[in-house]
Amino acid sequence: MKFYQYLVDAERAGFRACKRCQPEVGDSPQMRLVREVIAFLVNQYDQKVELKDIVSHVGVSSYYLERLGKNKSR
């Protein structure tokens, strides 16, 4: 198994970008949501934060947020 740090290097080696996460697109709506969640958690580092607090802040369901996390961790 070989890993590439940059998309262009992987393409030169004959690989294509993932059709699911589309890294060539750049800042997808899902990545903006992930960044918003991270910012919320960083700002609340000294508070007890529950999942309901996070989803309330970013405006998505807990199911969607959990599914998004599972998809991005592959």
Task: Kindly report the pTM of this predicted structure.
Answer: 0.60
pLDDT at 5 exceeding the cut of 50: yes
Residues 6+ apart with CB under 8 A from 52: 62
pLDDT per position as a tens digit, 26-60: 677 788 888 899 999 999 999 999 999 999 999 99
Backbone angles phi, psi at 62, to 5 degrees: -65, -35
